[in-house]
Amino acid sequence: MAENRIYTAALIVIGDEILSGRTHDKNIAQVASWLQVQGIRLAEVRVVPDVQETIVAAVNALRNSHDYMFTTGGIGPTHDDITVDAVAAALDVTVVVHPEARAMLERYYASIGKELTEARLRMARVPEGADLIPNRMSGAPGIKIGNIHMMAGVPHITAGMLDALTGTLEGGAPLIAETIGCWTAESEVADILREVEKAHAQCQIGSYPFFREGKVGANFVIRSTDRDELASAIDTLCDALATAGFDFTPGGI
């Protein structure tokens, strides 16, 4: 693959609990950070409720426009876990019980002295043709079909599934970033940032203001897939800040 091919992914976070404000999502940041390391850019996230037609619409909007698609949430044993049905409907395939998933669940529940009930067997249901994503935290696996990866909603279980996927997805040159921090209002240096970005077409510069210890400041994050371009932009920015009389902290504040 060409080194400058950019791989993108979309994430669908499924669950009424996020949209009600009851649960603070942790999966967006965790999936985003993991994708960065794989050389894949998270290009869009949608948070949708436990409503099949809404999930189907999001899956169909995103699965063809990105290299990879991920979902979190809705693969458990209860009636509000409808991700598998929604993805199967989006792909127009049936839902089947995956024999290996069934065997995993049988072993898991036997190991803790429980039976594989009808509700638990729901966690072995997959869209026809799907493979499993191992889950070392509990019996129920994640599910992979085509470019779609269905993962758990509980963050530490999602983390285990991401570990299992590490290194299995083709990515591009990772986006690398360096940060310069300044104890100054970002509006003071807005012109400098704009000029530096304009002069370095292969870099993007983000400005992230903060208010700490009673003072305003900002971190400027320069991102690029090209290490030399990044270094050059950092040099230009530091020179411009120094010339204008601003103190700055390489690495960020």
Looking at the Cβ atoms of 93 and 185, the one nearer to a copy of itself is 185
| Least separation in angstroms between CB 63 and a copy of itself | 16
| Least separation in angstroms between CB 153 and a copy of itself | 9
Looking at the Cβ atoms of 129 and 250, the one nearer to a copy of itself is 250
| Least separation in angstroms between CB 197 and a copy of itself | 6
Maximum C-alpha span of the chain: 71
- Cα–Cα distance measured from residue 161 to residue 150, given in angstroms and rounded to the nearest whole number: 9
Provide the strand spans (E) within 164-214. 176-182, 204-212
Q: What is the dihedral of CA 101, 102, 107, 113, to 10 degrees?
A: 130
| Least separation in angstroms between CB 129 and a copy of itself | 25
**Contact residues for a copy of itself (CB under 8 A)?**
13, 15-26, 28-36, 41-50, 54, 76-80, 114, 117-120, 122-123, 154, 156, 175, 177, 185-188, 190-191, 193-194, 197, 204-211, 221, 223
Looking at the Cβ atoms of 44 and 229, the one nearer to a copy of itself is 44
Single-letter residue type at 228: D
| Least separation in angstroms between CB 211 and a copy of itself | 7
Contacts of 40 (CB under 8 A, 6+ apart): 7, 8, 9, 67, 68, 169, 171, 172
Using DSSP's 3-state secondary structure scheme, residue 87 falls into helix
Looking at the Cβ atoms of 154 and 240, the one nearer to a copy of itself is 154
Q: Which residue has the tokens 């950092």?
A: 234
